[in-house]
Structure 1
Amino acid sequence: MSDLKVGIVGCAGRMGRMLVKQVTQTEGCSICGGVEQTGSDYLGKDIHGLAGLEPSGITVTDDTTHLFEMADAIIDFTAPATSVAHAKLAAKYQTILVIGTTGIAPEEQAEITESGQKTVIVQGANMSLGVNLLAQLARKVAGILDDEFDIEILEMHHHHKVDAPSGTALLLGKAAAEGRGVDHDAVADRGRDGITGARKRGDIGYAVLRGGNVVGDHTLIFAAENERIELTHKAGDRSIFARGAVRAALWAQGKPAGNYDMMDVLGLEG
């Protein structure tokens, strides 16, 4: 069986370079191309060279359509509007699309979901095995503990991150809400400032920290009178997200068109 031909959009960015390296080092797949925005200083550069690998002769282009035509799978950690456009291209060319983009608005998600009717789209707010296990734990623990236990989520990321709370924090909050059988958006408290009054029972609170080069720290807290349970995941390197994304691309081979997530890829109970 021939290697899965993988293309990387945003291949010159920090995550893009990590993805190039991970694909190259993973059995069963290989890099077929990568794109950057028109006018980028990286156009024409060797894609493997940018990732610190031996040059391969595959250069960065701005022809996204051609990449979707020739690739078996595309991995996308870009921006919400860009991921929507990529989902439409994936649907047109029957290309597997793995999306790790966060901060996607409901109306944008609806467009991505529609594209998933025509091709395989695997989407994850966080691609790491550890975080998805944590989400499963969040769901189970929240289902066991009643609302005498307040749920708070604390997350910290590097100072370049543009969305808050992080997609991973929201993933954990939504998992906890599912465990309790409540509507996440109805109980989410995404920011406190000034005289806010007492905490509302049953809410899921979020606290956000930004600074330095922190890859991603997340702590889920269940706090009651005289006791507290804390579940924490700390990412030390972006390679954990790249490994998960490449695993998702390989898993997606031969799957029927549809919208999948990392729980599907990892075989975890929803």
Structure 2
Amino acid sequence: MKPAAFDYIRARELPEALEALARHGADARVIAGGQSLLPMLNMRLARPAVLIDIMGIAGLDRVERDGDLIVVPAVVRQAALMKRPGLSGEQPLLAAALPWLGHYQTRARGTVCGSAAHADPSAEIPLCLVALDGEVRLRSRRRWRSVRAADFFGGMMVTDKADDELIEAVAFPAAMTGTGYAFREVARRHGDFAIVGCAAVVTRDAIHLAVAGVADKPQRRSFPPLKGSALTDALNGFAWDLEARDDFHATARLRRDLVRSLGLSTIGEAQRCLA
């Protein structure tokens, strides 16, 4: 199939893109990498009247540090973040997760913020944002605001972004001393969306585990420093609370089993990194 007809605006500056969003609102869609949006256009699952291309806007293509945050602006490609020098020390969870994100060809075009905007419940970028308690920075012609990742994702492909807002950047907390990080995923093929993905952030006082691919958005649960059967029981409770469903890719039972086993091994890896 081919997309329905639309008008095309190639924004050269951020104010131009924001003005177009303010003018067209729900009739407009923003495109940068297009790896999620273009298939939806071709299948006519999305039928915007106006497509606003932001890839040519200067200043939105460089990863920056803002204190303890790694700020990734709107047109930074996934491959560029993956190749960032020193990323494995700067934020080990991101470094571990990015190779699982799609394939070489899609990472070369797809943007980090585009993955957040698409809000697929199995995707790695939303999972990392929730696991690390990151933030999404939104800008419109009328305001700027920052939203915690846990509050930004509302469900399957549903976010807190208003029709006239652009995701200007996402921000991931950098690694902290005395904290262990780990990421593990099970998919049909490496690079496919996860059947279950787990991201663990562990300190000596707490265990934080985020899970993707089970509920309609990434979910994060915090535990005290449990061990043995106490941790197993806590993960079992988490697995049932996620209310997994059967679908084409996996049964609900398999997903619950993966939350228990993959969650335990991911936490164990993070604890070893902590040690």
Higher RCO (CA < 8 A, seq sep 6+):
1
- What is the TM-score when the length of structure 2 is the normalising length? 0.25
Q: TM-score, normalised by structure 1?
A: 0.26
